[in-house]
Structure 1
Amino acid sequence: MSVSLTSTFIKPVHREGPKFIAAFAVVTAILWLLWEPLGLVGLVLTVWCYYFFRDPERTVPMDEGLIVSPADGIVSLIGPAIPPAELDLGPQPLMRVSVFMSVFDCHVNRAPVAGEVTEVAYRPGKFFSAELDKASEENERNGLVLTMADGTRLGVVQIAGLVARRILCEVDAGAQLERGDRFGLIRFGSRLDVYLPEGTAPRVAVGQVMTSGESILAVIGRDDTATARTE
């Protein structure tokens, strides 16, 4: 029973987390000395900070052709959109699936497919709510192109949100990633857009809850438009 409780409530923390958790803890200690109710508020925020930076292991599905969610959160948008020009994925619209991460979701980002990182492109921008469609064009973002063994390319874009102020990308062009490998993180609250390869339709619906590295977004080459639901 104790092992089960430990695995349920105590998770590994992303390497970005300890410095923030420590800062929250120090402030909490000071607030506690000043006035206990403030200390309790600080304690709650410290626990939240730990929870935000959690980095649990995930069971990645291994079937061929699967595209998995790069983020925990909720599918907020589905539909055709022109990929960011800096990704060099062409001027034609591709099917885009957006996953919105609230401040309560795990924010570690994972590779949707296995492949070589052939493009990493950062663009400064604004900080509109990540749930808005215009966030894809106007917000600060960092995009990756993953090129699979057969040459198929997929774009995944980290987008800063209303309170997010830092996008962390931990890979460079030339890196080889397996499906489900960690590649970055965004602080605090944000969104990821996935531009599916041509001829591939999403197999999720708006409002569906996603688990990074586990939930299936699509199957490459399966254009099941009858089963795909847009916003």
Structure 2
Amino acid sequence: MRRLITSSALAGVASYALFQAYRKWYFPRDPARNVPLDATVVAPSDGRVVYLERVENGVVPIAIKNRREIPLDEIVKGEERPRSGTLLGIFLSPYDVHYQRSPIAGTVSEITYHPAPNVSMGDMFVRNLFRLEKRYSNSPHVWTNERNVVRIDGDDLTAYVVQIADQQVNRIDCYPAEGDSIAMGDKLGMIRWGSQVDLFIPDLDPGDFRVATGDKLRAGVTILVP
């Protein structure tokens, strides 16, 4: 019995040490990124694409739980949002780099934080782990959870980056201030622990993007729109 207790205690200590190592060194890692010079739009986040949808009349055609569609302003929260464009959803696993980067060059014209109770992203994690269809099914966090919306106005495009928190998130960090100039690929912020990042770009169609659902993205590196 004493040997069993000792083994269990050692396993517990080892697990705790591994978690602390993950928390202090692996999770906050910030690898250098070489931003492509020939891109129009790059990925704002590491992770996998969970949806890439055309927005019409302010509605996103994704079915979650008993809802057949989601109003855009419940995801990209704020006032006077464009009524059409393309919405890209990116899910970050606990093993992804959690820094966000600017998808375009331009001026940060709006930063709006929206507090809310957070529900778990566990279902989306499982559906992505097993590569199931409709990776967003049963994931109400898409519109319910705490989020930060950053609008960037470029010369030819406007981009809205939405940082969405998971139930276990400590905080959402956003580095620039309104009025700041930002280059494509510059660090935009960080979501601590689990998260999702959405990108809404008016005036573009899904066919303008060269990624698809299930694709793995790297922030500041993966070209979304050539």
Q: TM > 0.5 between the two?
A: yes
2:21 and 2:225 map into 1 onto residues whose CA distance is 35
Give TM-score scaled by structure 1 length: 0.73
Partner of 1:202: 209
Q: State the alpha-carbon separation in 2 of the partners of residues 87 and 109 from structure 1.
A: 23
Instruction: Look up the SS of the partner of 1:44 in the other structure.
Output: helix
Alignment of 1:161-180 (within 5 A): 161-180=166-185
- Residue 175 of structure 1 and its aligned partner are, at CA, apart by 1.0
Q: How many Å separate the matches in 2 of 1:87 and 1:214?
A: 31
Identity among equivalent positions (%) equals 31
CA-CA distance at 1:85 after TM superposition:
4.5
Q: How does 1:89-168 map to 2 (within 5 A)?
A: 89-90=81-82, 92-130=83-121, 131=124, 132=136, 134-150=140-156, 152-168=157-173
**Aligned-partner SS, 2:78:** helix
Partners of 1:160 and 1:191 within 8 A in 2: yes
Q: Identify the residue that residue 51 of structure 1 maps to in structure 2.
A: 26
Pick 1 or 2: higher relative contact order, CA cutoff 8 A, min separation 6.
2
Quote the Cα distance in structure 2 between the aligned partners of 1:110 and 1:37.
38
1:85–1:127: structure 2 CA closer, same or farther, 3 Å change rule?
Answer: closer
Q: d(CA) in 2 for partners of 1:100 and 1:87?
A: 25
State the shift of 1:138 in Å: 1.4
Q: What TM-score does the superposition give when structure 2 sets the normalisation length?
A: 0.74
Structure 2: segments with no counterpart, 5+ residues? 1-8, 61-71, 125-135
Moved more, 141-150 or 112-121: 141-150
Tell me the equivalent position of 1:28.
none
**Number of equivalences:** 184
Deviations 1:18-51 (A, max 9, x none): xxxxxxxxxxxxxxxxx43332112211222111
**Deviations 1:112-170 (Å, cap 9, x if unpaired)?**
111100000111123234444543321110001100134x3111100012322411111
Equivalent positions of 1:67-78 (< 5 A) are 67-78=41-52
